[in-house]
Amino acid sequence: MTEHSASNETRKAPESAAAEMDAARREFMRNIAAASVLSLGGGLTLYAAAPREALAKKPGEPLDPKKRWGMLIDTTKCTSGCEKCVEACKKENGWEAEPGSRTDVQWIRKVDVKDPATGFMASLPVMRQHCANPPCVDVCPTGASMQRADGIVQVNMHTCIGCRYCMMACPYKARSFVHEDIPEERKRFHAPMGKGCVTSCNFCAHRVDSGRIPACAEACPEGAMLFGDLNDPNSAISQRLKEIPSYQIRADLGTDNGIRYTRLP
């Protein structure tokens, strides 16, 4: 943590002293609580490690371009019919979708996959893959489809003209077009989306920016979604990726996804 507080001093956000004191107080609370969470037991280490790592960035501070956020999804723990991650995302980001709807926004969905030759079945969550080489960013004429320096791919809806070329280009069907007005009560402050723009998972950037983990990862009852910094060799996710084989959806396309799976059908 010392390294992080040092970087905090070098890049002070132009906010009032009160806000800074507030941030410091929150930081203190977090450290105390993180310590107590750590002491809860060995089984919970994964939970504690992920948020602590994410805590690197405090509100009001710019993101760290040395990081690359990613997620390792343990598909062996994921069961068909469990929609906890999807429900959490809906609640967090304010979208609703009728199952099978062709026009509703969906940021994450559970895909059931079956091998017709062997009958092997698997179920896994698919959301935006946060590629290192995202085709959607390549094709967007205005640069609205963008990649943050820390690897998060998102739509800058301020410059999206709604041409939908990114939806043609995305290999993962990760994007939705907002086909109608979103009522005020469904809007989320940190996840604005509006009629006529393309929208998609942004790795809960608002949470990541304040040191939290994405809502889906937090909600998974199996702890099957491990979020962290792929560029930090000491992060929990990097350590785990070093130990076990992991796969990307359509790795053949060379998009180098930030989302990895422990097993793909």
Partner 1 sequence: MKKRTHYELLQSGAGYYTALIGMGLLIVAGLAATWYMEHYGHIVTGMSNEIVWGMPHVFAVFMIVAASGVLNVASIGTVFGKAPYKPLGRLSAVMAAAVLAGGLMILVLDLGRPDRLIVAMTKYNFKSIFAWNIYLYNGFFAVVLLYLYTQLSSKAGVRRFYKPAGTLAFVWRLILTTGTGSIFGWLVARQAYDLAIFAPMFIALSFSFGLAVFILLMVALMRGDDRAVGHELVARMGRLLGVFVASAAYFTIVWMLTDLYAAEHRSAVAYLFASGNIYSWLYWVGFIGLGTIAPLLLVFSNSARSSHAPVITAALLVILGGMALMYFIIIGGQSYPLVLFPGMEESSSFNDGMIASYAPSLPEILLGLGGVAVAVTITLVAAKTLHILPTTLADAEVDPHLAAEAEGAGLKKAA
Partner 2 sequence: MRAIRQGMTAALLGGVVFAAVLGVAQAGDLAPKVPIDKSKGDCVLPGDQMRKQHMNILMHRRDDTMFNGVRGGKRSLQACLTCHMVKDETTGKPVTIESPKHFCRVCHDFTAVKVDCWSCHKSVPEETATQAMLKDGKLGGTGSMFARLRGFVQGGAND
**What residues make contact with partner 1 under the rule CB under 8 A?**
86, 97, 99-104, 106, 109-117, 126, 135, 137-143, 159-165, 167-173, 175-181, 195-198, 249-250, 253, 264-265
How far is it, in rounded angstroms, from Cα 225 to Cα 110? 13
How many residues at the interface with partner 2, by CB under 8 A? 54
What is the C-alpha to C-alpha distance for residues 23 and 15, in angstroms, rounded to an integer?
Answer: 11
Segment 167 to 186, residues that bind partner 2, using CB under 8 A: 181-182, 184
Tokens coding 96: 């609703």
Q: Which two tokens stand for residue 54?
A: 């994410």
Enter the tokens of residue 202.
């942004």
Q: Is 24 in the site for partner 2 (CB under 8 A)?
A: no
Q: How many Å apart are CA 135 and CA 137, to the nearest integer?
A: 5
Chain position carrying tokens 């990097």: 238
Contact between 116 and 238 under an 8 Å Cβ cutoff? The reply is no
Of the candidates 103, 86, 91, 94, the residue with the CA atom closest to the CA atom of residue 225: 86
Which residue has 């097993």 as its token pair? 263
Other CB atoms closer than 10 Å to residue 30's CB: what's the count? Answer: 17
For residue 63, with 0-12 CB atoms within 10 Å meaning exposed, 13-18 middle and 19 or more buried, which class applies?
A: middle
Judged by DSSP in three states, 250 sits in coil
Residue 4 engages partner 2 in binding (rule: CB under 8 A)? no
Q: Does 126 bind partner 2 (CB under 8 A)?
A: no
Among 193, 224, 225, 241, binds partner 2 (CB under 8 A): 193
- Of 63, 139, 169, 264, the one binding partner 2 (CB under 8 A) is 63
Which residues in the 207-236 window bind partner 2 by CB under 8 A?
Answer: 207-212, 218-219, 221
- Which residue, 43 or 116, has its beta carbon nearer to partner 1? 116
CB of 241 vs partner 2, minimal distance in Å? 24
CB of 238 to partner 1, least distance (A): 25
Binds 103: which of partner 1, partner 2, none (CB < 5-8 Å by kind) = partner 1
- Contacts with partner 2 by CB under 8 A lie at 13-16, 18-19, 22, 26, 29-30, 33-34, 37, 47, 51, 55, 57, 59-63, 146, 148-150, 154, 156-158, 181-182, 184, 187-190, 192-197, 205-212, 218-219, 221
